[in-house]
Amino acid sequence: MDERQAVAAFAALGQENRFRVVRALVTAGPDGLAAGALATEVGVSATNLTFHLKELSHAGLIQSRREGKSIIYSAAYEGLSNLIAFLMRDCCQGRPEVCDPAVAALSACDCPTGDALHA
């Protein structure tokens, strides 16, 4: 991830409803949520949600897939990981203990790993 991509991702997350969408999708896990369920979860209309989903997708933070007549949205874990890595890459300046709290927080996550993220 370069600086331009990181700025676009942070700009997308800088809007309250889009931030809520990403949090809801991260919470939902790799299975994601159908658009209607996501709109309900976030508390926005379907039309409003579509606008926000487009912005988040362009920023590489969410992805979608079709299942029958439904569109299922899920967090783009690789994009989110790249954003976190970009932010933390230069944080330590030779002092890795500075990053220990962030690493510990991520390590404590009961997140799916490996192939489960890409199922």
In a 13 Å sphere around the CA of 38, the CA atoms on its Cβ side amount to: 33
Per-residue pLDDT reduced to its tens digit, 57-89: 999 999 999 999 999 999 999 999 999 888 887
Full set of structural domains in the chain with CATH: 3-77 (1.10.10.10)
Per-residue pLDDT reduced to its tens digit, 33-48: 999 999 999 999 999 9
Ramachandran category for residue 101: left, alpha or beta (phi over 0 → left; psi -120 to 50 → alpha): alpha
Radius of gyration of the chain (CA): 15
